[in-house]
Amino acid sequence: MSARELVLTVDAMKTSRVVARLLGGMLFVSGAGILLNSDGYRATADEFLHGVGLIYMTGIMALLAGLAIVNLHNVWTKDWRTLVTLIGWFAVGDGTLRVAVPQFIARFDAWYIAQPGFLIGSGFIVLALGVFLSFKGYFR
């Protein structure tokens, strides 16, 4: 490995850790919120889904966040850093759909929220991702 490759690898790892810290904290709090207050979350989501403008605005935010991640961290390796990149690309896709077809997203999300067990299952997945990425971001 050349000195330049080593510097690029170290810089990429620093970026990975910073993005993992940001995503980890957000996902941890979101997952914990879903699990600790699922009825409140379901009611908030149901109210939110009646405002197509809100879906559009969250699409803009998700699209910007996803584009920021994939522009700063488009890393495809055989380790945990690929998960960060995948989350970025997921945000790009989700944001794009929310901006392009907010009515479809409103119907899909309403169906999803209504399914028994899916909200709690999602909460556990989001919480686990948050713990994992926080660990990778803050600890070596």
Residue 107: partners with Cβ closer than 8 Å, 6 or more residues away: none
Give the separation between CA 28 and CA 127, rounded to whole angstroms.
5
pLDDT of residue 87: 98
For residue 70, what are the contacts with CB-CB under 8 A and spacing of at least 6? 85, 88, 89, 92
Helix or strand (DSSP H, E) at 68: helix 52-72
* Residue 77, C-beta contacts closer than 8 angstroms, at least 6 positions apart: none
Neighbours of 128 (CB within 10 A): 13
pLDDT score recorded for residue 4:
55
- Nearby residues of 83 by Cβ (< 8 Å), 6 or more positions away: 129, 132, 133
Q: What is the pLDDT of residue 45?
A: 86
For each successive 10 residues of the chain (140 residues), what is the average pLDDT? 54 89 97 94 87 93 97 94 97 97 92 88 97 94
